[in-house]
Structures are given as structure tokens and as C-alpha cells.
Structure 1
């Protein structure tokens, strides 16, 4: 049986592909307060602004490709059982060839109607006010906004509970409940954290690798082989 490698990824995983994290140092998202463009209240107050914000993200995603870190993770499926849990809403893990990806915060290339969280459909084009599904109901991005439940968090917890090795790449570990997932792996599970600006230190069971995703994953492979 292959060793189960659980990988938690965040914005730093895709940064080297050219995707903006779109969150400034002051916390603004493209010049907007996060609650304006990523909350149910923001959508209710100004749906045009919110929809265009995600239209821009969707257009940008079409212009980029998986980087070497994405590709390396996909290749590691030859040696490990890999479960990727990502906070990213892009599809770069899948495009790189990874076969088991859980998107905690939704997916840019999917949409759902405003009345039913389960009404998820594939969607790659712009959404505007008046873009409706086959039942005539307004569509919205399939994105988990601030203040909304994270429907896949229990699935993610169950995955972490079966980890043999934990690898964290490119996340500040500041967004909850995702930041808590590292605490659900079995005690003393070998854990690795790749980030160019890590905010935690190495410990007995956690090795911090202060590098970008593409460089840090090379060090990780050396350590586990």
C-alpha cells in the first residue's frame, strides 16, 4: 500500500504560474474591501461589482499554466497515494494531472444558482446580472464567500486523519477553518511547510522549508526519499 501524502495548498502554490493572489498587504482585494467582493452581503449590495471581480479572475486563469510544483505533485502519484486539499479556486492542480483534489473554497470554472448550493455546473465564461441557469435562476460563482459555510471541511478533516505525511505549500495558515486542518493529522505525523515567508518555526514533527513552491518541493522530495 502506498504511503498517504496529504497536501494542503494555498495561493503561494499558484503564484509562480502568474496568478495574482489579489490580496494586498493592507488586506484589500484589487482595491476593494474583502466584504465588498467576497461576501453574501457584498453580492446583495452590488452584484455587478462582485460578478465582474470573479469574471476578471476567471479570464486571468485562462491565460496561465501549471508550474513545476503542480507538475511535480502530479508526478508523485506514481510513488504516493496523494490527496490534495486546496484553498485555491483555480484548476491548475487538475491541469497538471493530479487526480484527487478537494477545493475547500470552490472553483472559478464552476457556477451555481443563488437559491441552491448543490446546483453546481461547469462554467468558464463571464457571469453578469441576468445570466441564469436552465431553470431561469440567476447564477453566481461557485466560490465560498466569507460568512458562508465551508461544505467540504468535514471531508478534508477525514482525509487529514489518515495522513502518513503532511505537506503544506504556500498558505499563510491564517484563513479558518482551513488553517486548523494541520492539527487533524495523527500525532507525530512527519509534516513539512513550504513558504518563502514562513510564519511558523520547525519543530520535532514539522520541518519548515523557507522557499517558493517550485524550489521547496525539490527539498521535500529529497527529505522523504
Structure 2
């Protein structure tokens, strides 16, 4: 099957899809000014994330770890959803209004909250949220205060204990309820979109393969070849906005 034939098939399947699942990574937020940690100018260039962003390091150096997270929180608060985020909300509206009982699930590895701010209704944050903290004594998650009110560490408003960022660090397991919901979404998806992720972090990278296993179509939108490319029915070498426009003409200028 030629590229043009695969593109036509992908467009047809996406237009007809009743259940759509989307996996997004850091690439979709890059246009909002949030660098990926693999970029040369990325936020992780000065730390080794595998040793710095861990529960063990947080116990030893809570102020340093909070300083990293609060910088990311300020960056996320200042950022705005970009055209890729907005195109996904447009696609969600199209899918949900086209067929009764349709579902549209965005599963993101990002912690910036931009999908929610763009208007996607059903977002699963696989790796948590930079906008929240969690008290390990009370087991309660709570929103971070306004950036102007931040201290050097965040304390639980109920018990006063130093709380941790509500994110998944290296060597930690994902929330089983969130992972379970994501698994079900990809298993039942007629079409899965994989946007802006390197497909190197598991178990997220395995989710699109669940769609393939169940007979669904997997479409990758990424400027770079990834470990998932060989398993996709179609790969578009472009950014999120351009790829979604190409698939459905969301902005009226697809070829």
C-alpha cells in the first residue's frame, strides 16, 4: 500500500471512528514554550533525572527537588495551549458529535495541564500534574497556590507536613486506576493517534500496541522516527497541528 493510500485509509477510518484514543508526549507542548528534556536547551540539561527526580532524592533534598518542580509549575502556568492542543479539541468535538456513544480519550505523559486548558474533556494524566501536590501523611492531593504565594517547599494545608509534587518520579509505579482507564481506552479504540512522544517510556509506549492488537488503526504524528513507527499504520513526519490538519482538514487547508 502506497503512502497516499495509507493516508486515505487513515482519513476514512478517523472520520468513521466511534472510539478515539490519543497518546501525547512532550513534543506537543514544545510550541507552547515548554522544552522537552531531550532538547539541547531543555529543562533537564543540568540534572540527571534518573537520580534527581526520585522519591529517595526528595527525602534527602526536598527543597532542591521542589525548586525544580516549582520552576516547571511557573512555566506551565505562563504557557498557553498551542494550535496542536486546540486542533485536538476540535477533533474531539467532531468525533463526539458524529456518532451516538462515541468516546474521545487523551492520555498524556505531560504534566503541564495544557490539554485541559485547551478544552479536552477526558484527559488522563499518566504522570500526574505539576499543578498539584500530595501529602503522604493525609494522602490528599491539592492544588498549588498562585506562583506569587509559593515558598521554597509546599506544606500540607491540613497537617503541615512537607508534601511532594503530585507527579510520578522515576522508579515509581503509575496510578493503577489511571493506567487501567488508559488501557481500556486504547483497547477499544477504532483509531489511536500518537503525537509528539518518543515512545521510549513504558508502560505508556505500549498503549498504542493494544489498539493494533485489537484491530484498530494507529497513526503517528511526529517529526522524528520513533521506536513505535514500525508498528504504526501511518506515520506523518510533522508537528501535531500540521498532522491533524493533514488528516481531517481541521482548519480547512488540508490537501
TM-score > 0.5, shorter chain as reference: yes
Distance 1:19 1:88 in 2: 10
1:132 aligns with 2:159: no
Counterpart in 1 of 2:142?
Answer: 121
Q: How many residues align?
A: 222
Q: Relative to total residues, which structure has the larger helix share, 1 or 2?
A: 2
The Cα of 1:175 is off from its aligned counterpart by 0.5
Distance 2:188 2:214 in 1: 11
| Residue in structure 2 matching 1:178, options 204, 210, 229 | 204
Counterpart in 1 of 2:34?
Answer: 19
Unaligned ranges ≥5, structure 1: none
The structure that has the greater radius of gyration is 2
Q: Residue 16 of structure 1 aligns to a residue in which SS?
A: helix
Counterpart in 2 of 1:160?
Answer: 186
The Cα of 1:220 is off from its aligned counterpart by 2.5
Distance 1:26 1:56 in 2: 15
Mean CA deviation greater in 160-169 or 22-31: 22-31
Unaligned ranges ≥5, structure 2: 1-15, 96-102, 251-255
Distance 1:67 1:115 in 2: 37
TM-score by length of 1: 0.89
1:29 aligns with 2:54: no
Whether the 8 Å contact between 1:35 and 1:42 is mirrored in structure 2 is no
Counterpart in 2 of 1:9?
Answer: 24
Distance 2:222 2:21 in 1: 17
Mean CA deviation greater in 59-68 or 18-27: 18-27
Distance 1:180 1:169 in 2: 14
TM-score by length of 2: 0.79
Q: Residue 78 of structure 2 aligns to a residue in which SS?
A: coil
Counterpart in 2 of 1:192?
Answer: 219
Q: Residue 79 of structure 1 aligns to a residue in which SS?
A: helix
Distance change (3 Å), C-alpha of 1:158 and 1:136: same
Whether the 8 Å contact between 1:51 and 1:127 is mirrored in structure 2 is no
| Residue in structure 2 matching 1:215, options 242, 245, 248 | 242
1:9-47 alpha-carbon deviations (Å, 9 max, x no partner): 000010011112234469982411113431111212211
Q: Residue 134 of structure 2 aligns to a residue in which SS?
A: strand
Q: CA RMSD in A?
A: 2.5
Counterpart in 1 of 2:12?
Answer: none
Distance 1:109 1:182 in 2: 27
Whether the 8 Å contact between 1:74 and 1:96 is mirrored in structure 2 is yes
Q: Residue 62 of structure 1 aligns to a residue in which SS?
A: helix
The Cα of 1:137 is off from its aligned counterpart by 2.0
